[in-house]
């Protein structure tokens, strides 16, 4: 159920019996010469809508701009600073709590958002407002990603390319796949741009001249369909699990005895 398509009485019927919502989040940032800047938020929204269509749960509008300053050197990249992103997402999610939602899944498709969504989830849980967790599609199906691609790449690689081939085929520039591979970094090793254990880089351009990683020529629409269905299955299972949990089991445990301020 997509929130923005409903009327307020219809949403009243929903929260009278349900208390779970899905919030898709991505970014608007460079994804090399072959993929649109919309890549991350297209993936997040498509997965969120597919999973909630199957479960009947509520899906909110997508947060399209995320924490992406590490891609700022490339034309068109948009970002918000981390504190403002956290505050915005927290405020929006508290709106849902006001309407009766007590558990949320952040369906996230941008790595730069992860730690900040975790922080928002902690804030909401620690003050007893709700239970909110971050879910990243490719982390839910690592074995399949490894099976399909020798060089999946952490950004703009064949896994994201295949997903967009499945979701929005006309937005993939097929004639630039080799350029993406040859102008980027195929293998990003663990010690890449590290000195004596310190990570010495901040921005994507320092690791790949065109901003992307992996071998994009391995991507196919069929692989994208397989990734999409597998990730959707995982998200559906997560929603069903979360919906079944008693809220008291999800919120922060109490302080060990004796309780703070309790007289012995």
pLDDT digits (tens, 9 = 90+) for 115-135: 999 999 999 999 999 999 999
Rg of the Cα trace of the chain? 20
Quote the DSSP letter at residue 111: G
Crossing angle of helices 114-126 and 82-98, in 10° steps, is 40
Q: How far apart are the C-alpha atoms of 237 and 51, rounded to whole Å?
A: 9
The predicted pLDDT at position 264 comes to 65
Q: How far apart are the C-alpha atoms of 122 and 101, rounded to whole Å?
A: 16
Query: What is the number of helices (H) and of strands (E) in the chain?
Result: 9, 6
Q: How far apart are the C-alpha atoms of 152 and 155, rounded to whole Å?
A: 8
Q: How far apart are the C-alpha atoms of 27 and 77, rounded to whole Å?
A: 9
The CA–CA distances, whole Å, from 158 to 125, 171, 227 equal 36, 15, 11
**Who's near 18: CB < 8 A, 6+ residues apart?**
56, 57, 58, 243
Structure pTM? 0.95
Residue 190 has pLDDT above 80, yes or no: no
Arithmetic mean of pLDDT, 200-205: 92
CATH class of 3-249: alpha beta
Are 217 and 184 spatial neighbours (Cβ–Cβ below 8 Å)? no
Q: Which helix (H) or strand (E) holds 133?
A: strand 131-136
pLDDT digits (tens, 9 = 90+) for 208-243: 999 999 999 999 999 999 999 999 999 999 999 999
Q: Is 134 helix (H, G, I), strand (E, B) or coil?
A: strand
The predicted pLDDT at position 159 comes to 98
Are 106 and 135 spatial neighbours (Cβ–Cβ below 8 Å)? yes
Arithmetic mean of pLDDT, 147-163: 96
Residue 55 has pLDDT above 80, yes or no: yes
The predicted pLDDT at position 209 comes to 95
Mean of all residue pLDDT scores within the chain: 95
Residue 43 has pLDDT above 70, yes or no: yes
The predicted pLDDT at position 188 comes to 77
pLDDT digits (tens, 9 = 90+) for 81-116: 999 999 999 999 999 999 999 999 999 999 999 999
Arithmetic mean of pLDDT, 63-76: 98
Residue 191 has pLDDT above 70, yes or no: no
């Amino acid at each position: 159920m997509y929130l923005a398509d409903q009327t307020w009485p219809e949403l009243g019927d929903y929260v009278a019996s349900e208390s779970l919502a899905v919030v898709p989040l991505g970014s608007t940032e460079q994804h090399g010469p072959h993929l649109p800047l919309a890549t991350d938020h297209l993936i997040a929204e498509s997965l969120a809508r597919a999973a909630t269509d199957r479960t009947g749960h509520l899906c909110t509008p997508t947060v399209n701009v995320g924490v992406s300053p590490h891609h700022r050197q490339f034309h068109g990249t948009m970002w918000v600073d981390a504190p403002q992103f956290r505050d915005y997402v927290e405020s929006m999610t508290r709106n849902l709590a006001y309407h009766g939602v007590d558990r949320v899944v952040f369906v996230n498709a941008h790595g730069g958002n992860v730690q900040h969504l975790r922080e928002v989830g902690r804030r909401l849980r620690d003050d007893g407002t709700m239970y909110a967790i971050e879910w990243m599609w490719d982390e839910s199906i690592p074995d399949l990603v490894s099976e399909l691609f020798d060089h999946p790449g952490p950004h703009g690689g064949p896994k994201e390319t295949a997903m967009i081939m499945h979701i929005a085929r006309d937005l993939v520039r097929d004639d630039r796949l080799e350029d993406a591979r040859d102008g980027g970094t195929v293998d990003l090793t663990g010690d890449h741009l590290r000195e004596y254990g310190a990570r010495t880089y901040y921005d994507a351009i320092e690791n790949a001249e065109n901003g992307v990683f992996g071998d994009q020529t391995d991507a196919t629409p069929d692989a994208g369909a397989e990734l999409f269905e597998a990730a959707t299955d995982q998200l559906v299972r997560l929603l069903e699990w979360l919906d079944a949990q008693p809220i008291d089991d999800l919120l922060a445990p109490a302080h060990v005895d004796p309780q703070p301020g309790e007289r012995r």
